Amino acid sequence: MDARSERTRITADKVLDEIAKLAFSNILHYASFDDDRVRFKPSDDLNREEAACISEVSADVVTTESGDDYTRTTRKLALSSTTKSAHLNCSASTRNCLLKR
């Protein structure tokens, strides 16, 4: 183990494991959906590895002033890009590329 890896306790294998988690994350672990609805898994039900793959969670609430008091809420959950993860994986490993895209 080189001096930097020893000092930071970060190894190439650890970095590749983290990138693989991002590259192989699947939206079906976080949400279920059909033609009418999208249901997100509660954040309390996510483990650390699943939560680490989320790049964005947001909610946009729009209320009309037309007398109907209609409120629309748009929720968004975005996972880290698998393409970026694959690119990082290839860049991080000079000896071999586990994911080729």
Establish if 46 belongs to a structural domain. yes
Give the integer Cα–Cα distance in Å for 79 and 46: 13
Establish if 43 belongs to a structural domain. yes
Establish if 76 belongs to a structural domain. yes
Establish if 12 belongs to a structural domain. yes
Establish if 19 belongs to a structural domain. yes
pLDDT at 100: 40
Establish if 100 belongs to a structural domain. no
pLDDT at 71: 73
Number of structural domains (the chain) is 1
pTM given for the model: 0.62
Establish if 99 belongs to a structural domain. no
pLDDT at 97: 45
Task: Locate all alpha helices (DSSP H) within 1-101, ordered by sequence.
Answer: 3-8, 12-23, 48-52, 82-92
pLDDT at 41: 92
Question: What domain range is 81 assigned to?
Answer: 3-92
pLDDT at 88: 58
Establish if 101 belongs to a structural domain. no
Q: Which of 61, 49, 58, 54 is nearest to 78 (CA)?
A: 54
Backbone angles phi, psi at 46, to 5 degrees: -85, 140
Q: Which of 50, 61, 53, 57 is nearest to 76 (CA)?
A: 57
pLDDT at 98: 44
Which pLDDT tens digits describe the chain residue by residue (101 residues)?
A: 578 778 888 888 888 888 888 888 888 989 999 998 889 999 999 999 899 889 889 988 877 776 666 777 888 888 887 666 555 555 544 444 444 43
Instruction: Output the CA angle 8-13-19, nearest 5 degrees.
Output: 100
